């Protein structure tokens, strides 16, 4: 694992953008996976002018790593991850819908194989969840030896009672830990003082399903980029080995 601590969120976003754009410049089909959430907002605003309507990036394929599809009265509507990524990046960057791939009830069982046949994910950007989750791999219910899987929301909420009820989204579909181990370059971004405590726990805690993100430290090409606020609880003498 490579740990990079930048001065602030802007510097962190600039470093991350260099990694993503570098991967996208390869002379082949490039598959990337991006995260929603607050952490990458500045990054995406920086990236949009570089990507929008650029011929050299017109064949990039984007793979979302999780979704919570709607059932019942909202069945058929786009899921929240699709919608959020459209708002954060895809719409403004003019990414065509047919270049965006996402797990749904009809394909989650074959999603990993489809990605593998397409050449694999070249680079994936993820965040660190407030309770140590990554993608939709949550505490106490993540099958640590799983590829993409469907999790019953009732099971997830039973062991995480603070999670909100979502009766119209009974399942979460997510790439599991083994899916991420296949990614060629895994990049995590962490920003802000509100993430400082969970970030320290992530770095210090042995691998456990109480903190699912800890398993990512086994990835052979894992880069973690944070700002000084997120790193504010770290004793850097303890992390020189990283």
Q: What is the tens place of the pLDDT at every residue in 23-45?
A: 999 999 999 999 999 999 999 99
Residue 66 falls in the annotated catalytic set: yes
pLDDT at residue 236, rounded to an integer: 73
pLDDT at residue 209, rounded to an integer: 96
In order of 102, 185, 222, 236, the CA distances from 118 in angstroms are 14, 16, 22, 40
Which residues are within 8 A (CB) of 237 and not within 5 positions of it... i.e. 6 or more apart?
none
Q: Has residue 109 got a pLDDT over 90? A: yes
**Which one is catalytic: 27, 97, 99, 131?**
131
Residue 131 falls in the annotated catalytic set: yes
**Which one is catalytic: 66, 209, 227, 229?**
66
pLDDT at residue 39, rounded to an integer: 95
Q: State whether the Cα torsion 13-97-87-168 is positive or negative.
A: negative
**Which one is catalytic: 133, 185, 227, 229?**
133
Provide, rounded to the nearest whole percent, the portion of the chain with pLDDT above 70.
Answer: 98
Spatial CA neighbour of 122 closest among 29, 57, 51: 29
pLDDT at residue 235, rounded to an integer: 84
Q: What is the tens place of the pLDDT at every residue in 143-199?
A: 999 999 999 999 999 999 999 999 999 999 999 999 999 999 999 999 999 999 999
Q: Average per-residue pLDDT in the chain?
A: 96
pTM, whole model, 2 decimals? 0.96
| Mean pLDDT, range 63-90, rounded to an integer | 97
Q: Has residue 237 got a pLDDT over 80? A: no
Q: Has residue 239 got a pLDDT over 70? A: no
Residue 112 falls in the annotated catalytic set: no
Adjacent-strand bridge partners of 101? 63
């Amino acid at each position: 694992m490579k740990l990079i601590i930048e001065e602030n969120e802007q510097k962190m976003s600039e470093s991350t953008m260099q990694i993503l754009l570098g991967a996208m410049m390869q002379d082949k089909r490039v598959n990337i996976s991006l995260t929603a959430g607050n952490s990458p907002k500045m990054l995406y605003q920086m990236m949009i002018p570089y990507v929008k309507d650029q011929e050299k990036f017109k064949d990039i394929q984007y793979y979302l790593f999780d979704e919570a599809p709607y059932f019942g009265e909202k069945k058929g509507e786009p899921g929240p991850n699709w919608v959020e990524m459209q708002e954060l990046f895809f719409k403004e960057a003019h990414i065509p819908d047919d270049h965006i791939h996402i797990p749904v009830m009809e394909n989650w069982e074959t999603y990993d194989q489809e990605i593998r046949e397409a050449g694999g994910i070249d680079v994936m950007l993820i965040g660190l969840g407030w309770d140590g989750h990554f993608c939709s791999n949550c505490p106490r219910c993540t099958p640590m030896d799983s590829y993409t899987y469907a999790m019953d929301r009732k099971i997830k909420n039973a062991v995480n009672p603070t999670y909100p009820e979502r009766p119209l989204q009974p399942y979460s579909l997510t790439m599991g830990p083994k899916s991420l181990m296949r990614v060629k370059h895994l990049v995590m971004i962490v920003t802000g003082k509100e993430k400082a405590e969970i970030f320290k726990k992530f770095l210090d805690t042995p691998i456990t399903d109480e903190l699912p993100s800890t398993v990512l430290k086994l990835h052979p090409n894992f880069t973690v980029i944070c700002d000084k606020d997120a790193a504010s609880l770290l004793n850097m003498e303890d992390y020189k080995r990283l």
